[in-house]
Amino acid sequence: MAGQPPALEKRSASAIFDDLSRRRLVVVSGKGGVGRTTLSALLGLALAARGRRVLVATTGHDDRLAWMLGASALSDAAQKVGPSLWVQRLVAQTCIREYGGMVIHSQRVSSAVFDNSIVRRLMRAIPGLDHFSVLGKAWHEATRGGDYDCVIFDGPATGHLVYTLGVPQAILETVPSGPLTSEARLMQAALEDPEITQAVLVGLPEAWPLTELGELGALLRSKVRMHVAALAVNGLWPSDAPTVPMPATDADGLATAFSTHVGRIGEIGRTQAQEVDEWSRSEAARGCGAQAWTTLPWRWRGLANLEAMQGLLAALGEPGGQAS
C-alpha cells in the first residue's frame, strides 16, 4: 500500500554486524531479561574481530558482561579484555568527576570537588544529571575521546533508557544557554545522526515481547529521533530438530521420553519461527522504524563465559568463533 513503511528485511547477524562496525556509538536496548548484555558482549567480540577498537560500556550492576568477555569483574575504569576490546561499568559519580576534570583541566581538583559529600548530595538533587553523565561518557568516548573506534552502550532497560536518551533534548528545551546546553546540543546531534549512532533492539520470539519491541523502536524514532538498525530476536529454538523414531521396545521408558523431548524442541522452534516471521510482516513491525531483523539461536548450555560466547560466534559463522 502506498505510503506504508517497507517490510523488515531478514538479514544474517554477520551482515548487521558489518553495518554496525562502521558506527561510532551502538545502543543496545530491550526489556530486562531478554539478552541485552549477551548481545552487547557478542557485538563487542564481533566488531573487535573486524579490527575495530571497541569499548563495551554497561550500566549493569552485576559482572555478567565481564564473565562473557573473559574477565572476572567489572570496574568503573576501562579494562582491556582482548586485543582490541575493552569493558567498563559506567558509574554516574565517576562519570561526573571525569567530566569535571575535562572542564577544569585537572582530575585532582575535580576529584576534590565532586567527591565531597556535600557536593555529592547537591548533585543528586539535580534531575537527570546522573543519566546525562552516563550517556555523556559513552558519547564522549565514541565521538571525541580518541581511544576507541566504537562504543557499545549496554544501557538500562527499555523505560529507563528512553528517559536517559531523552535528557539531552530536555536540557535544550529547559536550561539557559551555556556549557551544559552546548554539550547537550552536540550529544543530541550525534544521537540523531545514523552515520554516528544506531540502536539494536533485543527481544524474545514470542508475540507480546515482539509487540513491546516494536513499540520501543517507534518510541526511539519519534521521541529521540534515533535510527534503529535492527531487531535481534534472541533465544530461537531449533526448528529442524531431527525426528527420533520411537523404539519397538522400551522397558524403562527412557528412549520414548528422549524421542518425545526432541520432538517437542522442534515443535517449539517451528512455532517460534512462524510467530517471528508473521510479526516481521505485520503493520506493527513496519512501524517500528527498524531496517532489518535477525535471530540468535538458543544455547542450551547458557552464555556465562567467553568460551560460550565464542561458541555462539561460531554458530553464527563469525570470525573469532570457536565451536564449543
Q: Residue 294 pLDDT > 80, yes or no?
A: yes
44: which 3 cell numbers? Answer: 563487542
Q: How many helices (H) and strands (E) does the chain have?
A: 13, 9
Per-residue confidence (pLDDT) for residue 101, from 0 to 100: 55
Residue 323 in any domain: the answer is no
The CATH number for 48's domain is 3.40.50.300
Segment 29-50 mean pLDDT = 94
Q: State how beta strands 85-89 and 79-82 pair.
A: antiparallel
How far CA 40 is from CA of 36, 132, 151, 199, in Å, comes to 6, 21, 10, 11
Q: Residue 1 pLDDT > 50, yes or no?
A: no
Residue 181 in any domain: the answer is yes
pLDDT band at 324 (very low <50, low <70, confident <90, very high): low
Q: Residue 111 pLDDT > 60, yes or no?
A: no
Residue 29 in any domain: the answer is yes
Q: What is the pTM of this model?
A: 0.88
Residues 6+ apart with CB under 8 A from 276: 205, 210, 233, 236, 293, 295
From the centroid of its chain, how far is CA 155? 7
Per-residue confidence (pLDDT) for residue 84, from 0 to 100: 96
Residue 131 in any domain: the answer is yes
Per-residue confidence (pLDDT) for residue 5, from 0 to 100: 62
173: which 3 cell numbers? Answer: 528545551
Q: Which position has the higher pLDDT, 276 or 107?
A: 276
Domain encompassing residue 156: 9-315
**CA-CA distance, 153 to 145, in Å (whole number)?**
15
Highest mean pLDDT out of 41-50, 98-107, 232-241, 314-323: 41-50
The 3-state DSSP composition of the chain as helix, strand, coil percent (nearest 5) reads 50, 15, 35
162: which 3 cell numbers? Answer: 528512553
**CA-CA distance, 200 to 292, in Å (whole number)?**
10
Q: Residue 105 pLDDT > 50, yes or no?
A: no
Domain total in the chain: 1
Residue 320 in any domain: the answer is no
Residue 148 in any domain: the answer is yes
Per-residue confidence (pLDDT) for residue 299, from 0 to 100: 87
Say whether 52 sits in a helix, a strand or coil: coil
Residue 57 in any domain: the answer is yes
Angle subtended at Cα 232 by Cα 268 and Cα 213, rounded to the nearest 5 degrees: 90
What percent of the chain is predicted at pLDDT more than 90? Answer: 54
pLDDT band at 300 (very low <50, low <70, confident <90, very high): confident
Q: Which position has the higher pLDDT, 102 or 253?
A: 253
pLDDT digits (tens, 9 = 90+) for 221-280: 999 999 999 999 999 998 887 777 766 777 777 877 888 888 888 899 999 999 999 999
Contact 131, 121 (CB under 8 A): no
Strands (E), 1-144: 9-10, 25-30, 54-58, 79-82, 85-89
Q: Which position has the higher pLDDT, 248 or 16?
A: 16
pLDDT band at 6 (very low <50, low <70, confident <90, very high): low
Residue 321 in any domain: the answer is no
pLDDT digits (tens, 9 = 90+) for 134-181: 998 999 999 998 999 999 999 888 888 888 999 899 889 988 888 778
pLDDT digits (tens, 9 = 90+) for 45-101: 999 999 999 999 999 889 999 999 999 999 999 999 999 999 999 998 888 777 665
Q: Is 302 exposed, middle or buried (0-12, 13-18, 19+ CB in 10 A)?
A: exposed
Per-residue confidence (pLDDT) for residue 107, from 0 to 100: 55
Per-residue confidence (pLDDT) for residue 260, from 0 to 100: 81
pLDDT digits (tens, 9 = 90+) for 116-129: 454 345 445 444 67
Contact 321, 308 (CB under 8 A): no
Contact 68, 81 (CB under 8 A): no
